[in-house]
Homo-oligomer: A and B are copies of this chain.
Amino acid sequence: MPDVTVKNEIFYNPVDFVLKKIGGTWKIPVLWRLRKKVFRYTELQKDIPHISQKMLTQTLRELEAEGFISKKIFATVPPHTEYALTEEGTKAIGIIEIIRNYGLELMKKEGIDYEELIKAELKTKKEN
């Protein structure tokens, strides 16, 4: 495996190439939400637990630059924006789904019931 530099980014192999694009803590949570509907900035912020404004903005910028999402600005007051998957983004979702299913399998093997955890989480949120 060679080291390849593209636009000042080094990567070691094709997998690395993919993970530089859709890896990191926040890109998946964003892409995953956009998979079936368009989101506004604030909606994403509300929907993704723990994400900070900075990380959301940064994540959206990168995904946009890489061609996975598109941005539409509405010149209202206050202005708002809408983010949607592009065709390339939809393709990425296909891959993400595969990794996700594998993750669910692995979790099950370790005795983690993800569905259960989601329910518990929602309950906690309502209590807070």
Interface stretch, picked from A53-61, A69-77, A92-100, is A92-100
Number of copies of this protein chain within its complex: 2
Q: Does A16 contact B (CB under 8 A)?
A: yes
Min CB gap A72→B, angstroms: 24
Q: Does A42 contact B (CB under 8 A)?
A: no
Q: In the complex where A49-B3, A117-B2 touch, is A99 in contact with B15 (Cβ < 8 A)?
A: yes
Number of residues of chain A lying within 8 A (CB) of chain B: 42
Q: In the complex where A98-B95, A100-B13 touch, is A2 in contact with B118 (Cβ < 8 A)?
A: yes
Q: Which residue from B16, B19, B100 sits with its C-beta under 8 Å from A14?
A: B100
28 residue pairs A–B, Cβ–Cβ below 8 Å: A1-B29, A1-B49, A2-B121, A3-B49, A3-B50, A4-B114, A4-B117, A6-B110, A6-B112, A12-B50, A13-B32, A13-B100, A13-B103, A14-B102, A14-B103, A15-B96, A15-B99, A15-B103, A16-B103, A17-B106, A18-B100, A18-B103, A18-B106, A23-B23, A95-B98, A95-B99, A95-B102, A99-B99
